[in-house]
Amino acid sequence: MIIGGGPAGLEAAYNIAINGYKVTILEKDNEIGGNIKKWVKLFPDFGDAAEIRKAFADKVNKGNIEIQTGVEISELYSENEKWFAKNGNNVIYSADAALLATGFEAFDARRKEELGYGIYDNVITSVDFEEMYKTGKILTAQGTVPKRIAFLNCVGSRDEKVGNHYCSRVCCINAVKQATEFKELVPDAEAYCFYMDMRMAGQFYEELYRKSQEKYNVNYIRGRISEAAATFDKRIQIKSEDTLTGLPMKMTVDILVLMVGIESSASTTELSRQNGINGEYGFAKSLGLYISDNLTKKAGLFLAGSCKRPLTLPETVADSRAASVQILNYLKLN
Ligand code: SF4
């Protein structure tokens, strides 16, 4: 039984099913695919998100995989070595083992009121940017082509005020990707990215970062925007400090994009709590980081993907395969 039909859940379902076991995927949305549904192109190679999503969906299009969508699990528990999941209508699903693959949620930018999200129409999030990019255009709320855009990193991550000390790991490279995409669409516009550190630790990230500067002229400013406010003509005035020069700065932009971080999903937090495997920041806690990262202290309950911590898509797939091996071993031995 796999709770979550995103990349982690789908990859695990495939690997377990081809070994001859029946798998049920329980997905809360009406479609499988998880967060990948919101994306157009993936970093760092601008891979087509729809194609990748289809590849995952094709993998689980197998006889012994049952997919139940629109099923939100509210209780997860074990009795007599069996696992049970109950939804809001008290329908109970049971299995010999359960995999938590409940993914992540994007940080709700309204919690950073000073940045104006939900108040000013031209303050959007990286998730909204992706939605707009699907239309092939990036426009202001007034329907004009922006002449200047700013991206703000670390919104909801590395931030004591909101209680998230961790780095979400994906938003720096996502800012580089989205700034590049913006400049491809509107080459004459200016793009600025405000950052604390540019964390370019993945393969090809550094190259993309460099290309965004050399080929697309994206400007990177080391500094954190402290405040955003609308001007009379509905542009956004931002206040920041350039921490490399030590000087305060003001800038007016047509769109401010908040690079929202990764947070634990509500299901992860709740189902982990019920099973005593709740870790820091609401994420699920594995038995150990090195050789038992897919196991939990509950026999038969496994973890895969970003229900544990922020992971990239390739990391999620690898982690899910590792979880599948652990589950297959467990099913064979029990
Ligand atoms: S990946 Fe970059 S933007 Fe995201 S939290 Fe880490 S440092 Fe901030």
In which residue are the tokens 């009795």 written? Answer: 79
Q: Please give the distance, rounded to the nearest whole angstrom, from the Cα atom of residue 224 to the centre of ligand 1.
A: 12
The predicted structure's pLDDT at residue 240: 92
Q: How far is the CA of 271 from the centre of ligand 1 (A)?
A: 27
How many angstroms separate the CA atoms of 39 and 7, rounded? 13
The pLDDT score that the predictor gives to residue 330 is 98
Which has the closest alpha carbon to 136: 231, 40, 256?
40
Is the beta carbon of 106 within 6 A of some atom in ligand 1? no
Q: Tell me the best of 160, 178, 243, 259 to mutate to test the pocket of ligand 1, counting ligand atoms within 8 Å of each CB and taking the most.
A: 259
Q: Residue 121 in contact with residue 228, Cβ under 8 Å?
A: no
Q: Which CATH number fits domain 109-262: 3.40.50.300, 3.50.50.60, 3.40.50.1820, 1.10.10.10?
A: 3.50.50.60
Burial 35-52 (b: 16+ CB within 10 A, else e): bbeebbbbbbeeeebeeb
d(CA 39, CA 130): 6
Is the minimum distance from the CB of 53 to ligand 1 under 6 angstroms?
A: no
- Residue 2 is predicted with a pLDDT of 98
Residue 143 CA to ligand 1 centre (angstroms): 30
Ligand 1 touching residue 167 (CB < 6 A): yes
pLDDT of residue 244: 86
- The SS3 call for residue 156 is coil
Looking at residue 201, what is its pLDDT?
A: 93
Q: Give yes or no for residue 199 CB within 6 A of ligand 1.
A: yes
Q: What is the pLDDT along the chain (334 residues), one digit of tens a residue?
A: 999 999 999 999 999 999 999 999 999 999 999 999 999 999 999 999 999 999 999 999 978 999 999 999 999 999 999 999 999 999 999 999 999 999 999 999 999 999 999 999 999 999 999 999 999 999 999 999 999 999 999 999 999 999 999 999 999 999 999 999 999 999 999 999 999 999 999 999 999 999 999 999 999 999 989 999 999 999 999 999 888 888 999 999 999 999 999 999 999 999 999 999 999 999 999 999 999 999 999 999 999 999 999 999 999 999 999 999 999 999 999 9
User: Could you give phi then psi for residue 138, rounded to 5 degrees?
Assistant: -115, 115
Please give the order of strands across the beta sheet that includes 73-79: 73-79, 82-87, 92-95
- Cα 142 to Cα 5, 46, 139, 233, 255: the distances in Å are 37, 28, 8, 10, 11
Q: Where are the alpha helices (DSSP H) in the chain?
A: 7-17, 49-59, 126-133, 171-185, 205-214, 266-274, 313-333
**Which atom of ligand 1 has the smallest separation from the CA of 169?**
1
What pLDDT does 242 receive? 85
2-103+265-333 shares its CATH topology with 109-262:
yes
In terms of Cβ atoms closer than 10 Å to its own Cβ (0-12, 13-18, 19+), residue 2 is buried
Residues 293/277, Cβ–Cβ less than 8 Å:
no
Pairing of strands 225-230, 219-222: unpaired
Can you tell me which atom of ligand 1 is nearest the CA of 175? 3
Asked if 293 contacts 178 with a C-beta cutoff of 8 angstroms, the reply is no
CATH value of 2-103+265-333 in 3.30.565.10, 3.30.465.10, 3.50.50.60, 3.40.50.2020? 3.50.50.60
3-class DSSP string for 107-128: CCHHHCHHHCCCCCCCEEEHHH
> Is residue 52 lining ligand 1, measured as CB closer than 6 Å?
no
- Confirm if 224 and 111 have CB atoms less than 8 A apart: no
Q: Which residue lies with its CA nearest to atom 4 of ligand 1? A: 171
Ligand 1 centroid from CA 81, angstroms:
41
Distance, CA of 286 to chain centre: 19
Kindly state the tokens that stand for 291: 């050789």
Q: Among positive and negative, which fits the CA dihedral 205, 210, 213, 219?
A: positive
- For tokens 């090195």, the residue is 290
What's the pLDDT score for residue 188? 97
Domain ranges of the chain: 2-103+265-333, 109-262
